Structure 1
Amino acid sequence: AAAAIDRSFSEVPREDHQEDAGSEQPEQQPPLDLDMLAQQVYGIVKRRLTSERRRLG
């Protein structure tokens, strides 16, 4: 079964795959600010933990 899978991947022409990937690119988005995202996630998690402590406590 593994040999059949290996053959099926090797039969895919690379040029076609690259053209498909290039024609379906999403709109360019600005790079993510990971520090800002981490701060937002931290705030959400902190609020949820605080509310859980109150609920259980």
Structure 2
Amino acid sequence: MQDIIFIGLDVHKATVTVAVAGGERGGEVRAWGNIPNRPDHIGKLVERLSSRS
């Protein structure tokens, strides 16, 4: 069975605000933080989130 997480991104010119929610109904939503809106930082975010499963 796969674990599902939902990722919310609030994208701005200089930053991206990230939130993560569990896949179950009523799951906890957690603020992940802000990262610079740059390809290298987005890539690191994807690597970190994909390693969670």
* TM-score computed with the length of structure 2 as normaliser: 0.29
Structure showing greater radius of gyration is 1
Higher helix share: 1
Higher strand share: 2
